[in-house]
Structure 1
């Protein structure tokens, strides 16, 4: 062999060996630990020990948390607070408010109705989500969430956000339903659900108290819907809206709940989404309780949400967010629409106007020897003031 060729072959061999060793080290030290499973640290999502269920006293309490707008924890400053409050105010105030609400009201379920994190201020969406939902996870209370129009502005898409939220401890959230019971088949087989717009459309059921005749049957129903973020209509920027595919799914679930109900009593439902519908802005709104303080920011598109809810008949109240300084409940065509009120300190508000949260209480009908269906649904709000003041208590629906 020519000595020069032999030298070239040796150089090539050494070069390939160096490349192989480098790739092996890169995979071993950097890539493999991220992709592999550390069985010592691996953990399974924590689940609630029982389904959503009324208490033995015939009550079920929901805490609505609207517009937390979590950023980066203590590094994130508050907006629209008094000058005396600003120097020591951060996301931690939002966290403490949630902790106080959980301790004071002891809810059976927490519903987060969007803008859980403020994406433009959150450098790491996952970390901000852990901070946002941390107090309820620590409490072990089951919870669920939908997205607002700001959640996806950080490091995750809307689909990634909902997938991540669905995997968090004690979360009952779902990205979207994939199968549902086929009521046309007597054997109760499942069938594929047609593709639905958005991420975060799902149905949750609450069963009766332990030991009652309703202990294994739904007596209260929750619909969660993704109202989207932003859109452009005929060249005009606007907010997104709930699409026809979502409304079709909603009608199917409502009808299935009706035909499979084994009891003569009606199963009332509550709905949760973020962006208000245009009909709230147009009115007229009846029996308003609370503050109508700001312009209703909604889509230009009337997609038929109100007509669908009215025709379904089971939805008694809808709980929304988005407009932080609106905290009223008002009726449209017999359906209540209730704002949660701005919860988070990094979201906009009004200086001196306390952040707030809404509580919803469902009560069962008490028979002589057993419980009946839901008798009444009422609501009130709590202010994050010195006394955690309770205001605007009202009945939304009564049998």
Structure 2
């Protein structure tokens, strides 16, 4: 990767971004029509309903998980904007092939510590553009890079100095070169302006306090509001916060799940970005089983290419999840070289697949797909690759 800091290189980058932005078709609607199914946003209670198909066999709800896109990485070079274009191609291929009803952005949507601008929402909007252009609703949560402080590139201090276009030497404005970045709250305010977004602010007393919320998927039956599944979204920190799911977040989950699902009769799945310590435990068990005991494990996946980079501490969230028989699976990103699902207690711990061309690693890109069926309930998953192939199919719940 060659990094250029010349004025001409910067303007080439701006030209690419403007052309990209101009050619994105933005469609806003509260309804998404797909194969006889209708997905409607009910703003009053933040419910989703899959309707049509009669609620019987053949009705399903499909979700695509896009993880670690890292838009805006090395934005001042020729390399960076090209990676964003490549990431858009991956998402477009997955969306056109799978035709999902819903998309989850699983954190590290942007690489804010590489963004020398005050408004990172410009790159966030690019990241969600393939989904929005296809009129597909989505929800997002934050990763450790989304609001990370800007990091000055070393080559800006070489003989060529800081590119003048980015940091005018004679500017009278004291904060022009400070690059304070865009906070989680600012990114969220921009996100929820989209009528297709189901993303929500979290309760103000939670730390981390932004992307903590729950969505209810209603039964395909149109004559009642029977919940088919609950989807919890949690902010696992990073950037301006410690990389944890805090004790107060765990208490929020306990109270919310007891309120919505007191008898644990409704299946539940959970999304956050940075894996918990339990992922480390599962990975070690697999290694011991495969290397020493030579016995087959039940893990499903094609990539076991790096160690688990877990949260800084475990503060009770996993204990709560294991005590709820209704929790079927947890889905995370963060590790670009892992895409497995492994059983843990009575649930599954799953990684998504690295979707974006930004960030580290040269592994092939793709996305994890979830398929939820009702009556009877089932949860299936597989990986859809950029080249169109499918692998690692697994039944997570029946």
TM-score (norm 1): 0.71
**1:176 pairs with 199, 202, 219, which one?**
202
The residue that corresponds to 1:47 in the other structure is: 30
Contact 2:75 2:114 in 1 (8 A): no
Q: What CA distance in whole angstroms lies between the structure 1 residues aligned with 2:397 and 2:238? A: 30
Moved over 6 A (4+): 72-75
Q: Give per-residue Cα distances to partners, 1:112-132, cap 9 Å, x unaligned.
A: 110001112333401101100
Describe the SS at the equivalent of 2:371. Answer: strand
Give ranges in structure 2 of 5+ residues lacking alignment: 1-26, 33-39, 42-47, 151-180, 287-296
Q: Give per-residue Cα distances to partners, 1:107-153, cap 9 Å, x unaligned.
A: 11101110001112333401101100011111111100001000103
**2:213 pairs with 202, 212, 232, which one?**
202
Identify the range of structure 1 (241-250 vs 275-284) with the bigger mean alpha-carbon deviation: 275-284
Q: Does 1:90 align with 2:83?
A: yes
Instruction: Give the alignment of 1:1-399 within 5 angstroms.
Output: 46-48=29-31, 50-51=40-41, 52-55=48-51, 56=53, 57-71=58-72, 89-122=82-115, 123=117, 124-153=119-148, 155-177=181-203, 195=206, 197-211=208-222, 213=223, 215-229=224-238, 240-259=243-262, 266-283=265-282, 284=285, 287-290=298-301, 291-350=303-362, 353-365=363-375, 374=377, 376-385=378-387, 388-398=388-398
Identify the range of structure 1 (222-231 vs 143-152) with the bigger mean alpha-carbon deviation: 222-231
CA 61–159 in structure 1, closer or farther in 2 if over 3 Å, else same = same
Q: What CA distance in whole angstroms lies between the structure 2 residues aligned with 1:76 and 1:392? A: 36
Could you tell me how far 1:77 is from its partner in structure 2?
5.7
Give ranges in structure 1 of 5+ residues lacking alignment: 1-43, 80-87, 179-193, 233-238, 366-372
Contact 2:384 2:391 in 1 (8 A): yes
The one of the two structures with greater contact order (alpha-carbon pairs below 8 A, sep at least 6) is 2
Could you tell me how far 1:72 is from its partner in structure 2?
6.6
CA 356–53 in structure 1, closer or farther in 2 if over 3 Å, else same = same
Describe the SS at the equivalent of 1:393. Answer: strand
Contact 1:77 1:346 in 2 (8 A): no
CA 255–101 in structure 1, closer or farther in 2 if over 3 Å, else same = same
Contact 1:46 1:170 in 2 (8 A): yes
Could you tell me how far 1:241 is from its partner in structure 2?
0.6
Contact 2:325 2:346 in 1 (8 A): no
Q: Give per-residue Cα distances to partners, 1:295-348, cap 9 Å, x unaligned.
A: 111123121221110113321011100000100001111221111121110121
Describe the SS at the equivalent of 2:211. Answer: coil
Q: What CA distance in whole angstroms lies between the structure 2 residues aligned with 1:172 and 1:112? A: 11
Contact 1:53 1:207 in 2 (8 A): yes
Count of residues in Structure 1 that have an aligned counterpart in Structure 2: 308
